[in-house]
Amino acid sequence: MSVTTSRTWRDRPLVLLALALALVSAVFAAQTSASTRAAAAGSQPCDLYAAGGTPCVAAHSTTRALYSAYNGRLYQVRRASDGATRDIGVLSAGGYADAAAQDVFCAGTSCLITVLYDQSGRGNHLTQAPPGGFQGPAAGGYDNLAEASAAPVTVGGHKAYGVFVAPGTGYRDNSTNGIATGDQPEGMYAVLDGTHYNGGCCFDYGNAETNSRDNGNGTMETIYFGNSRTWGYGSGNGPWVMADLENGLFSGVNRGYNAGNPSVGHRFLTAAVKGGPNHWAIRSGNAQSGGLATAYDGPRPNATGYNPMKKEGAIILGIGGDNSNGSAGTFYEGVLTSGFPSDATENAVQSNINAAGYAPSAVAGAPTVGSRVSLRATTSCCTADYLRHNTADSNAVIAATSSSSPAADRAAATWTVRAGLGDASCVSFESADKPGQYLRHYDFRLRVDTVDTTLARLDATFCPQAAHNGQGVSLGSANYPADFVRHYTYAAYVASDGGTHAWDSATAWADDTSWVVTSPLA
């Protein structure tokens, strides 16, 4: 008994010491964890730019917060069915977009992105671009707004949406606060879909003219992404990250070709441009992993009008400074800074972008380019009906068709899926029995026709999205983002939900615009 007591008494200080050490260790671990969390929380892109002495003066994203403390609005969507709007924010401060809020708000109808909010607090929000040197396709010469569900991705494992820019789509702010003007230094980056581009002018993000017109050499400074060779280009076949400085897409110091600017092909692309007095640079990299490569870093172009620069301080997305709107691309996030960022700061931002975890998100049930398919209606009245063309007048309709139907009927309801003629990230449907003719809309009616103009190629391009009724896919018009392939009284149209035409009727719109992609009937 005494021995046991003695051992217990002698061991007690050791036990107490062990407990004290454990407590200190736990406190230290908690402090370290809190410190780590605080460091991580303070390392979003605009936190990093601020720490580098070049703070963000505009910050736009539909996927995540670009400041660790930001807990506000990312973007706004407008619902087609009733015109109501909804601001989409983040799940938590410094976090990812609340895409579920958009999905609930837009369920059974379509939505357009109406505003990209500026997270910097300066009010540099992007809205529907007005007409300028070029007219847009929307009412009053404005550009189209992007369909809100057209570019699904995941970021950090969370569902999100990008801004899908088809030709004719564009955003702008001509009255900004704090954006560089004249020859003042600035930087900018954007995270883009590196597989969605074209050779049209101009898929830009950055600093542009305040009157939506071409005001001469050096009046804008933006990131450009695409494979245009009209003004400048780099090595390979493109696409390239270049700088749109007005009246010139520059891939380096010279007009035209610059061997040091490589073609890039990352699914998620980080593109960066920065400029100051007689100094500018282009950098790019894989937004999912790795660092930034410098394609050019040196003096302003050796052409008249670019030194000194005459920047005006508007902000554009998806268009050129004069509202040229023939471009295609997808935008996820981007900023403009005050001051010329160091490479070290940009490298830190790139590391943050890598850590954000961008990943593609396929549209379930979408048709595969190169395949032969048939498209079955999902409305309860018509589940044995397929989209086909008439033989008499080439108009598209739905009609009951099966494996036992005459061969001509089965062939008329069969399509070969091609890369989109007007936007290669979408699809076009070539008639199986009329090779060289495609499904297209003309005056909103769908028909099979020869496609031989820029407008016709866009008319024949459709972008698959999650089905409005959950069955199959819905097919959005590339050049009318609020309109989808729909059957109405057995004829086929591109139709909005609740528009001014009879075929825009809200009745059964979600069902009528949803199609199951099946094996080919012929």
Among 166, 217, 426, 196, CA closest to 321 = 217
What is the distance between the alpha carbons of residues 493 and 500, in angstroms, rounded to a whole number?
13
Three-state secondary structure readout of 182-217: ECCCEEEEEEEECCCCCCCCCCEEEEECCCCCCCCC
Q: What does the buried/exposed string (b/e) look like for 375-392 if buried means 16 or more CB atoms within 10 Å of the residue's CB?
A: bbbbbeebeebbbbbeee
- Residue 512's alpha-carbon distances to 48, 123, 214, 474, 479, in angstroms, are 48, 40, 44, 9, 20
The region that residue 35 occupies, defined by phi over 0 for left and psi between -120 and 50 for alpha, beta otherwise, is: alpha
Contact 490, 375 (CB under 8 A): no
CA distance 232 to 476: 33
**By 3-state DSSP, what share of the chain in percent is helix, strand and coil, each rounded to 5?**
15, 35, 45
Look at strands 256-257 and 232-233 and give their pairing.
Answer: parallel
Strand partners, 285: 270
- CA-to-CA distance for 287 and 191, rounded, in angstroms? 7
DSSP string, 146-189: EETTSSEEEETTEEEE-EEE-TTB-EEESS-SS---BT--EEEE
Asked whether the beta carbons of 356 and 64 are under 8 A apart, the reply is yes
Neighbours of 294 (CB within 10 A): 16
Phi, psi values for residue 128, rounded to 5°: -55, 125
Q: DSSP alpha helices (H): ranges in 281-363?
A: 343-356
Instruction: List active site positions.
Output: 246, 322
Residues 489, 397 contacting (CB under 8 angstroms): no
Helix (H) or strand (E) holding 517: strand 515-518
- Paired strand residues for 395: 447
